[in-house]
Amino acid sequence: MTIHAGKLTDPAVRAFVSAVNAHDREAFLKLLTPDATMADDGSDRDLTEWIDREIFSSHGHLEVDRESDGGRAFLARYSNDTWGEMRTRWSFVVEDDGRISRFETGQA
């Protein structure tokens, strides 16, 4: 059963999923700390290059199936124009100011 983005527990994660699904790059970047980092399948990636390729230029979309870790981790069906749909896991480090300093994703 899919969890609607507006029902996700953590406000930063909720805004992250909403920005991805709205294809709103500006809103997405405002959620991140200036020095934010990310990893895909266990390897650190260039954040700007990755989000442009995997999310914004390829119409990425998240359907969250289950959240954990107080809303700072979830399992989802992720789809984009490049890879189609796959089961993915996501986890987030959210700072005291409510911005995301790191996220990690990969196939579940």
Task: Compute φ and ψ for 31, nearest 5 degrees.
Answer: -80, -15
- pLDDT for position 95: 98
Task: Read off the pLDDT band of 91 (50, 70, 90).
Answer: very high
- pLDDT for position 5: 86
CA atoms within 13 A on the CB side of 108: 16
4-56 tens-digit pLDDT: 888 999 999 999 999 999 999 999 999 999 999 999 999 999 999 999 999 99
Q: Does the structural domain 5-107 have CATH classification 3.10.450.50?
A: yes
* Nearest-angstrom CA–CA distance, 104 and 42: 8
Residue 13 structure tokens: 């994660």
In the chain, domain spans = 5-107
* Nearest-angstrom CA–CA distance, 93 and 84: 27
pLDDT at 1 over 90: no
- Helix, strand, coil distribution of the chain in percent, nearest 5: 30, 45, 25
43-81 tens-digit pLDDT: 999 999 999 999 999 999 999 999 999 999 999 999 999
